[in-house]
Structure 1
Amino acid sequence: MTAFTEAKMTGSVSEILERALAGEDISPAEGEILLQQRDRDTIEAIRQTSDMLRKRQAGDTVTYVVNRNVNFTNICEQHCSFCAFRRDEGKEGAYWLDADTIRSKIDEAIQRGATEVCIQGGLNPQAKLHGTSLSYYINLVKQIRQTFPQLHIHAFSPQEIQFIAREDGISYQETIAALHDAGVGSMPGTAAEVLVDEVRRVICPEKIDTQTWLDVVEAALAVGVFTTSTMLCGHIEMPQQQIQHLQRLRELQEKAVSRQYPAHITEFILLPFVGEQAPPALRRRVGRDQPVLADILLLTAVSRIFLGNWIANHQPSWVKLGLAGATEALRWGCNDIGGTLMEEHITTMAGAQGGTCMSVEQLQAACTSAKRPYRERNTLYEPVYSACKNSR
């Protein structure tokens, strides 16, 4: 292995990395082997492999998006064991933003150059008080679309889609198609947590199961709605379960390609568990409040090696890792530094220390410190040329 002559690796790890560099998909068993490595030289070889694959699959330029999160309600019928965001209706801190407040937030984002708004919220049963649940969500999207026609609306997780469909007794595909017609351009692949039901039964027993998440995302891709993909990592899951999650994402993307769906999964984002303000039961079980950077970086690298042939764009979470940790992840297979967000409540309320907003200048400086060129992109990873004049 010419690039890793100094590394002290077992033959099996060396062979796995050689096959990955030859362009082959590694197997789940091989991915698990990589995640189990603890030798410093071997981990460095894994990092180098992920970095070379990143360069080949996505290039050297680090991308970012100017966007704003709007979490329109924290009232939620579910009680996920890792969530410090949700509230019951009428309880202290519960909120449901009205249309004027949402428009004001988005108008501020437009003034700061945003090309995307990400809309997500709790599962609020009040959504159907004045009609169907779907009609509330459609009206929300239409109001944004009519006021800000230039903005890409990235909205509603698979969990929210299932909630709307369940409340109204309609199919996932019908729900997604109606929202797409109203103006939703893409869907966040959140609520995936870990796509292994034995883990989900502990951390989010009220949430959709693995197959439902996969079914909703496949329905979106079949309709023509692009999605992202995520993994909530660093809590109770084991390496085998992390790889099972990655395998299910890879299989879904392979299916989308083979069936020639009009859309595909655009990116993969690791979301490290932050437990500082999480409910006590899971916090005690995990035994730590903040992510372990070394563990997240190894998983970042293995995710690139395992998924990169199918999902080329990989992004760290500066909210969870801090900007320094996210910048380091650019050396471990990531090609995107994320978005400006402008506000972020869900992770911050759990005790994350990365902040809630990044300026474009801060993201660009992070790329420069990593000795990489940068470029603004839109939600679908197309260049935003008007912002490129200061790119390196």
Structure 2
Amino acid sequence: MNSQVEEILERAIAGEDLSPEAGVVLLKQTDETAIGQIRDTADRLRQRQAGDTVTYVINRNINFTNICEQHCSFCAFRRDSGDEGAYWLDRAQILEKATDAVKRGATEICMQGGLNPEAQINGASLPYYLKVIDGIKSEFPHLHLHAFSPQEVEFIARADGLTFADVVAALQEGGVDSMPGTAAEVLDDEVRRILCPEKINSETWLEIVRTTHQQGVPTTSTMLSGHIETPEQQMRHLGLIRSLQQSAKAHGYTGITEFILLPFVGQEAPKPLRRRVGRDQPILSDALLLMAVSRIFLGNWIPNHQPSWVKLGLAGAVDALQWGCNDIGGTLMEEHITTMAGALGGTCMEVETLQSAIAAIGRPYQQRDTLYRKVAPKPSNDAVSKQESTP
């Protein structure tokens, strides 16, 4: 291993926050010995920062509409109103999905959708979103609602002439408990001009998440990786995420609860980007190295790191547990955005499947809630029946 990599990893083990430039050095390694040392360092830091227990959440994704005004170059999910395959769930359909999730033990509903210009009540967007929230919270007030990305906040604010703080405060009062840190893609405007030219720019994304933290609402953080971005742009993204979290912690906010890497799936993506990227599925080795460097770079500030079994498959996600990740994600129960892009990981994962996969690498597992608090598993129906029949 070269001395530069060794020195960087020694500083990380000593507890230092690495520079983005040091992260670039790690990401550009091709020597197997050096990559093995990066993996081992990430795994050691994971054990120190998050422990050996692998966590998971029982949740359900509800992508309530795929009708969207924007045309992101990587998205196979969006449709125009009237297109074949376009859909828009009504209140009863959303409640049916939430009810099913609760019956299956879910503690969280994750809800995001396309930017549907028709999603309004009396000519305003915010009342529509509040009605969607109420449809779930009126029936299940204790169910954690993890909902609406920074892009959706901007969409509502723009439509209704409101500030970001107005929108976040109203959503929080309505029942949103945390916000997905999606729509980040890569926080570099050169990349965004190609990937998602109609989306908010990097600074606006950061401003909305910062505002969300200031309102006392926690968020997650994500990166869409493995398409046209460079290692330098990946590290710029991670640097901005870390600075955002440092600011949140300095002000006493919860801030970011987890970092999730989302490797690009291009099988059904629009053809121009698919041709430019040149492959349909993520390169696992690239994703694992980036997850390891993310742990080394972010772990002092964001201890929880999660792979995407939807994008990498369960075997790839389990591999990531040895490259710095400590969480396997959620059951999801259904997932449309990545699946419509051609992902091979599936749309639903049973709790027992996640537990068995974790146990297979010799690690303990633990159910958690959205904010990484332990959840005691409910006894099975068989166990309950046995208890009730015992004299």
SS of the aligned residue for 1:186 comes to: coil
4+ aligned runs moved over 4 Å, structure 1? 387-390
Code of the residue aligned with 2:27 in structure 1: it is L
Shift of 1:148: 1.0
Alpha carbons 1:375, 1:387 under 8 Å: kept: no
> Corresponding residue for 2:218?
226
C-alpha separation between the residues in 1 aligned to 2:207 and 2:220? Answer: 14
Q: Secondary structure at the match of 1:257?
A: helix
2:93 matches 1:101: yes
In 1: Cα distance, 2:309 partner to 2:188 partner? 25
Distance 1:108 1:72, change over 3 A: same
The 2-side partners of 1:174 and 1:186 are apart by: 16
- Is there any run of 5+ residues in structure 2 with no aligned partner, and where? 384-391
Instruction: Tell me the CA shift for residue 302 of structure 1.
Output: 0.2
Q: After TM superposition, give the deviation of residue 150 of structure 1 in Å.
A: 2.2
Match of 2:387 in 1: none
Partner of 1:140: 132
Q: Deviations over 1:159-196 (max 9, x none)?
A: 00000001001111110010000100000000000000
Partner of 1:76: 68
Deviations 1:272-313 (A, max 9, x none): 000000000000000000000000000000000000000000
142-151 vs 314-323, which moves further: 142-151
Whether 1:58 and 2:54 are equivalent positions in the alignment is no
Q: Which residue of 2 aligns with 1:278?
A: 269
C-alpha contact (below 8 Å) 1:348/1:355 kept by paired residues: yes
Shift of 1:130: 2.7
Q: Does 1:12 align with 2:8?
A: no
In 2, Cα distance between equivalents of 1:327 and 1:58: 16
Which residue of the partner structure matches residue 284 of structure 2?
Answer: 293
Residues in 2 aligned to 1:350 and 1:259: alpha-carbon distance in whole angstroms: 39
Match of 2:258 among 264, 267, 274: 267
Amino acid at match of 1:330: L
Task: Give the letter aligned to residue 166 of structure 2.
Answer: E
* Cα separation, 2, equivalents of 1:386 and 1:63: 12
Partner of 2:367: 376
- Name the TM-score, length of structure 1 as normaliser: 0.96
Distance in 1 of aligned mates of 2:6 and 2:351 = 39
Note the 1:1-392 alignment, pairs <5 A.
Answer: 9-261=1-253, 263-387=254-378
Q: Look up the SS of the partner of 2:311 in the other structure.
A: helix
CA RMSD after TM alignment: 1.2
Secondary structure at the aligned position of 2:138 is classed as: helix
Offset, 1:258: 1.3
Give the letter aligned to residue 11 of structure 2: R
Letter in 2 for 1:371: G
CA separation in 1, counterparts of 2:122 and 2:88?
A: 15
Question: What TM-score do you get using the length of structure 2 for normalisation?
Answer: 0.96
In 1, Cα distance between equivalents of 2:49 and 2:378: 23
- Tell me if the contact between 1:376 and 1:387 (Cα under 8 Å) persists in the aligned partners: no
List per-residue Cα deviations over 1:39-91 (Å, max 9, x = no partner).
Answer: 00100000000000000000000000000000000000000000000000111
Residue 132 of structure 1, CA deviation:
1.4
Spell out, residue by residue over 1:225-249, the C-alpha distance to the aligned partner (whole angstroms, 9 max, x if none). 1000000000000000000000000
Aligned to 2:386: none
Q: Counterparts of 1:62 and 1:11 in 2: how far apart (Å)?
A: 33
| Residue type at the aligned position of 1:177 | A
Aligned partner of 2:246: which letter?
Answer: E
- Whether the aligned pair in 2 keeps the contact of 1:376 and 1:388 (CA below 8 Å) is no
* Count of residue correspondences: 381
